[in-house]
């Protein structure tokens, strides 16, 4: 592989990783009770 192919590959990899990076920086900022960032925590907490 030539050097510019490596460069291009890493660029593509970074692009693919952007959503993941955003997800983790967003999590550090807002202290939600759901650490997994899932809005599936809308379910009623069973309370009795």
Q: Say whether residue 6 binds other proteins (CB under 8 A).
A: yes
Geometric angle at alpha carbon 13, from 36 and 21, rounded to 5° = 30
Residue 17 CB, nearest distance to other proteins (Å)?
5
Among the listed residues 45, 27, 25, 44, the one whose alpha carbon sits nearest the alpha carbon of residue 36: 27
Total binding residues toward other proteins, as defined by CB under 8 A: 31
What would the two tokens of residue 30 be?
């807002």
28 forms part of the interface with other proteins (CB under 8 A):
no
**Residue numbers of the site for other proteins (CB under 8 A)?**
1, 5-6, 8-9, 12-13, 16-17, 19-20, 22-23, 31-48
């Amino acid at each position: 592989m030539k050097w510019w192919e490596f460069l291009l590959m890493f660029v593509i990899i970074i692009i693919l990783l952007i959503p993941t990076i955003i997800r983790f920086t967003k999590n550090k900022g807002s202290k939600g009770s759901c650490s997994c960032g899932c809005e599936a925590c809308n379910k009623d907490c069973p309370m009795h």
